Amino acid sequence: MIVCFDVDYRENTAHIGGLVFLEWEDAEPFRAYQMVIEGVHDYVPGEFYKRELPCLIQLLDQITEPIHVIVVDGYVWLSEETKGLGAYLYEAIRGSVPIIGVAKNKFQRANTAIEVLRGESEKPLFVSSTGIETKLAADYIKKMHGDYRFPTMLKAVDHLARSW
């Protein structure tokens, strides 16, 4: 199974959404998870993972299905030497599950990301990964359900995270 996560913040409170789905082409999730966490860290530029990682771990601990791949909103690697959220998550779960990061905006130093064009969009998504070849990860994101730039499941988990 595959899980994708997103987090929405209101001051020091986070609302985390997670969708579990069976196949990359699925249009509907198998199960949805949500959680509200109070007292999250303030955002610190360059240390975003310190705010988001504990939220993802707490929701991941609630998921009962066997997870084979995790998709996060953002980068796995910011550069070849600099970890992004996905790499910190991979480290936190001791490399037990591959992580795919899907970022909406280009990060200048993220030279390990692959640009993925979906639908008729001329604006790419930026895919990075750990525990799985980045080319394969990009192929998975490209074949996800949906006719537009953002795959259906990633749109849905964004909406879920914002649905306080």
CA–CA dist 5, 71 (Å, integer): 7
pLDDT given at position 110? 55
pLDDT of residue 153: 98
Q: What is the mean pLDDT of the chain?
A: 93
Task: Supply the DSSP string of 5-67, one letter for each residue.
Answer: EEEEEETTEEEEEEEEESSTT-SS-SEEEEEEEESPPPP-TT-HHHHHHHHHHHHHTT--SPP
What CATH number is associated with residue 72?
3.30.2170.10
Burial 36-52 (b: 16+ CB within 10 A, else e): ebeebbeeeeeebbebb
Per-residue pLDDT, averaged over 130-140, amounts to 98
Task: Categorize the per-residue pLDDT at 78 as very low, low, confident or very high, splitting at 50, 70 and 90.
Answer: confident
- Number of domains present in the structure of the chain: 1
Determine contact, residues 46/84, Cβ cutoff 8 Å: no
Q: Are the beta carbons of 128 and 113 closer than 8 angstroms?
A: yes
Taking the CA of residue 30 as centre, how many other CA atoms within 13 Å lie in the half-sphere pointing to its CB?
Answer: 15
Range of the domain at 38: 2-162
Length of the chain in terms of residues written:
164
Q: Is the pLDDT of residue 48 over 80?
A: no
